[in-house]
Structure formats: C-alpha cells, structure tokens
C-alpha cells in the first residue's frame, strides 16, 4: 500500500482544451457547476487531458486500496476542483480511500503566528507521520509556492517528490540535495528475486531500428534497465505504446511461466519507442514494487 499526498490546483476548471474535440462543458465559466455532468465528461476523456492531478495519478499506477490525500487551496475554486476529483477517483476509478485537506490561506485577522506556507509544512509533516503506506508527494497541481514547500519537506524527510514535466511529458522526480549542495542518489528498490540472466544479455532490442531514430534518453534508459537485477529481458512490443508518455504500466499478459511484464513508452518529438520488460516478479506485491521502482528511476533520468 502507498499514500499519495497531492497538491490540487484549478486546471480541472481552467484548462482550455485547445487540442481536443470533446471540450469540458464549463469552459469560460467561473465554476465547474454540476458534478454529475463533470464526472460524465471526465469518464469519457483521457486521464492525461483532464487535469494535472489525473495525469499525475495515472502515471503512478495506483492500486485500489492506496490512499490519496488531496490538498486544496483555501478558495472556492480550489475546493470545488478537489471535491470533483475526489468524486471521480472514487466513483469512476474505484479508489477506496480519498481524503481532502484544506491548505491554510493568508488571513491577517487570524491569531495564527505562522504564515500559510509554514502551516502547510507542519500539515505535511503530520500527514506523512499518519500515512498508512509508503508516501510519495505529488506537486504537479497548485501554486508554485506550495510546490516549493513540498520539495523542501520531501528533501528533509527523504520522501520522493514528483511532478509532470511539460517538456518531457513525463513524471519527473526531484533530486535529494545534501547540506553541502551535492545531489544524493537515493531510491526505493523493489524486493524481487534476482535474475540469473547475464546483464549484457538482458537487452534484446531489434537492430533494424538504428540508434539515431530512438529517443535521446534511450541511452540512459537502457543502461538503467541492464543494471536493475530483477529484469529478465527487454524487447520491442507495439502494445507498449498504450503506456503513458515516458511512463510505465502493467502489461495485459504475463510470461508463459507466470512472471509479470511491464510496458514502457519513451517519447521525444517524432522518435517514439515502446518496449516490454520481463520481471522476476510473480505476486501482486512484486508487481507494485517493480512499477514503483521503475517509474521513479525513469523519472529521475528525465
């Protein structure tokens, strides 16, 4: 089980939908309005296009019993977006545990001596301490200052912080910075059996597609894949194009002997690439850990 603590912005309300035909019904309005109408539209739309929050959660490959905590701003639009997202996650995606928390707003009449951002930092520490599973902080939505607070708390407590990078169209994880300013390489590794396949034989990518036609970050990605001890084999698979851009998802099929397979889709302008990744994992817990590690490793390379 894992816990995702996510800041919520207003992209659900304000995205202009310039490049999609089925536009959100409330474009140009000051509020989303009817929740049922909103959720009906959301259920017919790609998660990547609905909002920053749905795009992020789609890439984190949640299980139905994972915990989601949505931190919304102390504004009517922030609360409305969070309430609609909560309803959508539970009703349409089947997530069992979704909570809302209001982030404190600036109030000069308040007797609180701490600023709103200090209060947010204290709230984050409390929520992390109370979380039911391993915590990831998702900072895609919300104000920039809130993202900065999440980054600082994550760095101080050793909690991974991710967000959607507009240029790479993928999930990016922030580095851990030591007091001397150096970046620390730290990642949660999956507890899967080690593969007996020699590392130089793991990659079985066809040679008919030359290196210049592949995404530039493939060089770094293939080195990473060879180094992960629980990966058995990597090969081209057209079906892997159903994975999120620069992301990972579970394959629809296992190997003949019952091991889990992951799909990875890499994108760089007109240089797409899709590969299947055979793991040594055979249990649901193996699958969860493998997806989490590979998603974070990929996000730290971009």
**β-pair partners for 275:** 236, 264
DSSP-based three-state secondary structure for 287: helix
Whether the per-residue pLDDT at 109 is higher than 70: the answer is no
> pLDDT digits over 134-153, tens only?
999 999 888 888 889 999 99
Cα 146 to Cα 101: distance, rounded to the nearest angstrom: 14
Domains of the chain and CATH, by start: 2-184 (3.40.50.10770), 199-301 (no CATH)
Choose the weakest-confidence range: 35-44, 176-185, 290-299. 176-185
Whether the per-residue pLDDT at 107 is higher than 80: the answer is no
Count Cβ atoms below 10 Å from residue 267 Cβ, excluding itself. Answer: 20
Q: Among candidates 182, 129, 180, which has minimal Cα distance to 159?
A: 129
> pLDDT digits over 148-197, tens only?
999 999 999 999 999 987 666 789 999 999 888 888 888 989 999 999 99
Given this model, what pLDDT does residue 110 score? 45
Whether the per-residue pLDDT at 56 is higher than 90: the answer is yes
Cα torsion 274, 280, 284, 290: sign: negative
Q: What is the DSSP string of 105-155?
A: PP-TT----S-HHHHHHHHHHHHHHH-SSEEEEE-SSS-HHHHHHHHHHHH
For residues 261-289, average pLDDT: 93
For residue 299, what are the CA distances in angstroms to 99, 221, 245, 248? 26, 10, 12, 10
Q: What length does the chain have?
A: 302
| Average pLDDT score, the chain | 90
């Amino acid at each position: 089980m894992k816990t995702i603590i996510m800041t919520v912005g207003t992209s659900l309300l304000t995205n202009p939908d310039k490049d999609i035909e089925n536009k959100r019904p409330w474009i140009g309005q000051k509020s989303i309005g009817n929740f049922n109408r909103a959720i009906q539209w959301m259920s017919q739309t790609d998660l990547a296009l609905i909002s920053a929050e749905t795009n992020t959660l789609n890439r984190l490959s949640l299980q139905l019993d994972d915990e989601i905590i949505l931190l919304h701003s102390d504004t009517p639009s922030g609360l409305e977006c969070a309430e609609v997202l909560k309803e959508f996650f539970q009703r349409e995606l089947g997530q069992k545990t979704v909570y809302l928390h209001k982030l404190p707003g600036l109030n000069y009449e308040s007797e609180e001596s701490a600023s709103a951002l200090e209060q947010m930092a204290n709230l984050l520490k409390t929520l992390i301490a109370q979380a039911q599973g391993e915590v990831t902080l998702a900072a895609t939505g919300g104000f920039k200052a809130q993202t900065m607070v999440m980054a600082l708390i994550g760095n101080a407590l050793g909690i991974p912080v991710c967000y959607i990078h507009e240029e790479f169209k993928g999930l990016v994880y922030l580095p851990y910075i030591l007091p001397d300013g150096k970046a620390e390489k730290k990642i949660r590794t999956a507890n899967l059996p080690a593969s007996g396949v020699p590392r130089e034989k793991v990659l079985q990518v066809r040679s008919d597609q030359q290196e210049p036609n592949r995404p530039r970050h493939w060089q770094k990605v293939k080195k990473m894949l060879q180094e992960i001890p629980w990966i058995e084999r990597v090969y081209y698979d057209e079906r892997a194009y159903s994975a999120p851009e620069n992301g990972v998802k579970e394959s629809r099929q296992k190997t003949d002997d019952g091991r889990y397979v992951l799909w990875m889709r890499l994108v760089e302008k007109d240089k797409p690439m899709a590969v299947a990744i055979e793991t040594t994992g055979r249990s649901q817990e193996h699958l969860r850990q493998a997806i989490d590690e590979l998603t974070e490793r990929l996000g730290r390379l971009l």
